[in-house]
Amino acid sequence: MQLITVSELHERLANGEKPNLVDVREISEHNEFNIGGELIPLGKIKNMETDQLDALKDQEIICYCRSGNRSGQACQILDMLGFTNTKNLQGGMLAWQEKVR
């Protein structure tokens, strides 16, 4: 697992990149505000319900949550499942909303 900053991700999105984003928050949090990531709550990842991500095992996956804690856990679990390029959005959506106003 590596870290990616809000500034780095925002710049990549602004340049038209379409990275594999995974929102590991709960449905209600995702519905309130999201940056376009695929919603896979941390509980599903903990239960190894990651079939929809299997095709991305060797691609970059950027996980995010509210603050970076749950997404860090998700990255660690995905790494243990054989994913090779996971990144945790440092500071999560709190940092994103602070930076991108």
Average model confidence (pLDDT) for the chain? 96
Q: How far apart are CA 100 and CA 76, in angstroms?
A: 27
Would you place residue 100 in the very low, low, confident or very high pLDDT band (cuts 50, 70, 90)?
confident
Nearest to 42 by CA among 3, 2, 4, 69: 69
63 is catalytic: no
Residue 45: its pLDDT value, please?
Answer: 96
| Average confidence (pLDDT) over 49-62 | 94
* CATH superfamily of domain region 2-99: Rhodanese-like domain (3.40.250.10)
| Average confidence (pLDDT) over 92-100 | 93
45, 62, 63, 65: which one is catalytic?
A: 65
pLDDT at 23 over 70: yes
pLDDT at 1 over 90: yes
